[in-house]
Amino acid sequence: MNITVKRSGFIPLTTRKDLRRGDLTVAEAIKDIPFPIRRVYVIHHTKQNSLARGSHAHKTLKQVFVCVNGSFVLGLDDGKRKQKILMNQPSLGIIIGPKLWHTMSKFSKDCVMISFASDHYRETDYIRSYDEFQAFVKKRT
């Protein structure tokens, strides 16, 4: 599968398989995650029928999402193209650049998602209205 939306892409991570002890996956800042990491947050204890999350874009924030357990569906929209990606592999991250509308849905009940983010939490960086998002993208591309 290819990523067709702008401002996104796959971030492959190295997994050390270990049948006896369990696997180990590594994400290093700059080397794997293509920016200095300023914040990590985790989404966990989701339910099979958990409501969708996200439904916003960021003005400047860059993030890499990794689904380390279970699965969810990531919806991406760059203002022109839309795409859905099944997230279910700990060794495959997805970069979410600025100005990319994203929604997470269809969580499995054991889903654990990690986000490596380029900045601290700032509510002013969020665009939570889809109309505002489209206007913002048009102005700056």
Q: Which two tokens stand for residue 125?
A: 């960086």
26-33 long-range CB contacts below 8 Å, 24 or more apart? Answer: 27/64, 27/66, 27/93, 27/116, 29/116, 32/93, 33/64, 33/93, 33/116
- Beta carbon nearer to ligand T46, 18 or 123: 123
Catalytic residue, from 44, 56, 58, 102: name it.
Answer: 56
- Minimum distance between the CB of residue 63 and ligand T46, rounded to whole angstroms? 6
9 is a site residue for ligand T46 (CB under 6 A): no
Question: Applying CB under 6 A, which of residues 54, 68, 83, 130 lies at the interface with ligand T46?
Answer: 54
- Whether 58 is catalytic is no
59 is a site residue for ligand T46 (CB under 6 A): no
- Beta carbon nearer to ligand T46, 13 or 66: 66
Buried b (16+ CB within 10 A) or exposed e, 29-52: eeebbebebeeeeebeebeeebee
Q: Which 82-141 positions form the footprint of ligand T46 (CB under 6 A)?
A: 102, 104, 115, 121
- Beta carbon nearer to ligand T46, 17 or 124: 124
Please give the positions annotated as active site: 56
